[in-house]
Amino acid sequence: MTTTIENLDQAESNAEASSVSRRGFLAFAGLGGATFAAVSALGNQYAFATPGNTAQGDVLVFVFNRGGMDGLNVVAPYRMPTYQALRPGIRVKPPEDFSGPNAGAGLPLDQGGAVANFALSGVFGLNPGMTALHQGPWANGHLAVVHAAGMPASESATRSHFESQRNWESGSASIGVTDGFLNRHLAAFNDRSGVAAVGRGSALQMMLRGNVPAFSMSSIASFGVRGFANNSRATTALASMYTSGGDLLSSTGAETLSVTSMVAGLPDPGPQNGATYGYDSLAQGLREAARLIRANVGLRAVVIDDGGWDTHTNMGAPEDPNSYFRRRTGEFSNALAAFYTDLGTQMDEVTLVTMSEFGRTINENSSGGTDHGRGTAMFVMGRNVNGGVYGDFPTSIADGPEGDLVVANDYRRIISEVLTKRMPGSDMATVFPRYSQQSVLGLLAA
């Protein structure tokens, strides 16, 4: 039941085909039919359990790096000769490439936390822009990395943004699967109270679409009835019009107004534990996620979009602090590290997972960038995480016929381990219908 109604003129045409949750962006017709008010998208919220109640499991936060994150320059196999040869201008360089201390060197993943459970320890380094993530969650053993992750080519080898994102979020390449894997997982808990699931983005993410109610928000501050001369009086009038005992539109309106009232009164104590967030979209989304988690509104899962990863041109040299890709990875790293610091010990019951629809070609192109590829890097962060580098990775990478990093680790293997260990209760065959369950990688404590 997912409808998006952004204004009264679009209401009928969007009622059946919208991509946003039916509770996410609802237009109310009223006051003689001449005006409407929109309940703004809850842009920075997600779907999680309530911290402090371990029986409900963790709050799950998913960050989707839209555009195809170049995992080879985020988590670089920077000591591999083939990587160095195929990326002469944009490669991340190991410390030994510099004659002295240099802030442009990659950040080694062979110290701090438990490192790789395969024979390539010391091969990898984070992009030099990612110092906050390296010095915080990684050094504390609370950050796991799985490289060469994606959907196996045997199921889908598409390099289309749209198709690949749909596949990742539905959990299957089958066009017959039309709801999201996370919504199917949440359905097992039959929890329709409070604010269980929230997504931030221009529309509700597909992974949250389905029968479980989910909200889309632009910000907590803007979540409410807008567009009237007196929004308070309009809210009262709308409450009298929309009742939970009416038809679908009426009950949806009543539910939305109820949640609006709940969210409007949330306190904002500000970031805790000395955390400092940037002003970019991801940082602000995670800041408000932390605020909702503390408010105990019944949150079980959150999805945040993080764009800017379609880097076909001018990525720049990683040792240059002003290069595009180093600045982009810096924002990403700073946002995750601030969230980790902000929640402190509450990260015992929060698990954050990052994902992207595909990686990039191994060989840099003539424009100083990379093109659509296959395998990419995923992160799992939380105080319940066994830090390190996990999964399979080729002992040598080569510019093959399609110039791709092979998918050696099915992304569903990572996510299913998170779901079963940190919020158990659903059937993975339902959550991921075309995935054959594999052994766990050991990313998480039970």
Residue 439 lies in a domain: no
Residue 317 lies in a domain: yes
Residue 436 lies in a domain: no
Residues 91 and 129 occupy one common structural domain: yes
Determine the average pLDDT of the residues in 429-433.
Answer: 97
Q: What is the residue range of 376's domain? A: 40-219+268-431
Residue 234 lies in a domain: yes
Query: Comparing 67 with 191, which gets the higher pLDDT?
Result: 67
Question: What CATH number does residue 168 fall under?
Answer: 3.40.720
Write down which residue in 203, 237, 265 finishes a domain: 265
Contacts of residue 37, defined as CB under 8 A and 6 or more positions apart, other chains included, come to 27, 28, 225, 226, 227, 228, 231, 234, 238
Residues 386 and 315 occupy one common structural domain: yes
Question: What per-residue confidence (pLDDT) applies to 221?
Answer: 63
Residues 229 and 278 occupy one common structural domain: no
Question: What per-residue confidence (pLDDT) applies to 255?
Answer: 63
Number of domains observed in the structure of the chain: 2
Write down which residue in 233, 265, 297 finishes a domain: 265
Q: Where do we find the tokens 């936390």?
A: 113
Residue 134 lies in a domain: yes
CB 377 within 8 A of CB 420: no
Residues 158 and 247 occupy one common structural domain: no
Indicate if the pLDDT at residue 235 is higher than 80: no
Q: Which residues pair with 198 in a beta bridge?
A: 215, 302
Question: What per-residue confidence (pLDDT) applies to 210?
Answer: 94
- What's the pLDDT band for 130 if we cut at 50, 70, 90? very high
Residues 344 and 409 occupy one common structural domain: yes
- Of the listed ranges 25-34, 174-183, 353-362, the least confidently predicted one is 25-34
Residues 48 and 84 occupy one common structural domain: yes
- What's the pLDDT band for 117 if we cut at 50, 70, 90? confident
CB 48 within 8 A of CB 299: yes
Indicate if the pLDDT at residue 11 is higher than 60: no
Distance CA 83, CA 94 (A): 12
Residue range 239-265, pLDDT digits in tens: 666 666 667 666 666 666 666 666 666
Q: Which DSSP state fits 346?
A: G
Residue range 293-319, pLDDT digits in tens: 998 888 899 999 999 999 999 999 999
Distance CA 283, CA 18 (A): 27
Indicate if the pLDDT at residue 237 is higher than 60: yes
Residue range 201-226, pLDDT digits in tens: 768 999 999 998 888 887 766 655 56
pTM of the model: 0.84
Centre a 10 Å sphere on the Cβ of residue 119 and count the other Cβ atoms it contains.
8
Paired tokens of 200: 């931030």
Residue 115 lies in a domain: yes
Distance CA 60, CA 416 (A): 12
Indicate if the pLDDT at residue 70 is higher than 70: yes
- What's the pLDDT band for 382 if we cut at 50, 70, 90? very high
- What's the pLDDT band for 407 if we cut at 50, 70, 90? very high
Question: What per-residue confidence (pLDDT) applies to 6?
Answer: 28
Indicate if the pLDDT at residue 128 is higher than 70: yes
Residue 313 lies in a domain: yes
Residues 35 and 163 occupy one common structural domain: no
- Among candidates 369, 398, 397, 362, which has minimal Cα distance to 309? 369
Q: Where do we find the tokens 């703004």?
A: 40
Residues 289 and 323 occupy one common structural domain: yes
Paired tokens of 95: 């410390």
Question: What per-residue confidence (pLDDT) applies to 321?
Answer: 95
Indicate if the pLDDT at residue 100 is higher than 50: yes
Residues 143 and 227 occupy one common structural domain: no
Residues 227 and 91 occupy one common structural domain: no
Q: Which amino acid is at 189?
A: F
Indicate if the pLDDT at residue 30 is higher than 70: no
- Among candidates 174, 128, 135, 132, which has minimal Cα distance to 151? 174
- Of the listed ranges 69-78, 136-145, 196-205, the least confidently predicted one is 196-205
Q: Is 420 left (phi over 0), alpha (psi -120 to 50) or beta?
A: alpha
Residues 33 and 70 occupy one common structural domain: no
Write down which residue in 265, 298, 333 finishes a domain: 265
**Residue 287 phi, psi (nearest 5):** -60, -45
Residue 363 lies in a domain: yes
Residues 80 and 129 occupy one common structural domain: yes
Query: Comparing 49 with 97, which gets the higher pLDDT?
Result: 97
Indicate if the pLDDT at residue 2 is higher than 60: no
Determine the average pLDDT of the residues in 41-50.
Answer: 36
Q: Which residues pair with 197 in a beta bridge?
A: 301
Determine the average pLDDT of the residues in 177-185.
Answer: 97
Residue 58 CA to its chain's centroid (Å): 15
